[in-house]
Amino acid sequence: MTDCIFCKIVNKEIPSNLIYEDENYIAFNDINPKMKTHILIIPKKHIESFHIIKSSDDLKLAEWLFTVAYKIIKEKNLQWCRLQINCGKEHGQEVFHIHLHLMSNS
């Protein structure tokens, strides 16, 4: 998707403060943090939203967002956090590329 800001971050067309990267995922600091730690975790593959996943492969990519979050939580030694996925414009999704918010006051 050429006009997706997250796809542009994945393709290194837009700079970001990377926290984590592997073959299928990247994580970076949110530019408008809601808490002291506010990291966005996304699959490199463009999936518009969690509630409209169309294949079992895409569902597996979405499920692994939590595994990446777990790795980051342990690496940063976060004691408490909030994990949040917004699904659809009516429920706060602003960028239509599935992403998991990892937020903490630590």
**Structure-block tokens of residue 60:** 């597996």
Is 99 marked active-site?
Answer: yes
DSSP state of 88: S
How far apart are alpha carbons 10 and 5 in whole angstroms? 9
The phi, psi pair for 101, rounded to 5°, reads -85, 130
Catalytic residue among 38, 46, 99, 101: 99
Helix or strand or coil: residue 61? helix
Of the candidates 31, 59, 36, the residue with the CA atom closest to the CA atom of residue 47: 59
Which residues are identified as catalytic? 99
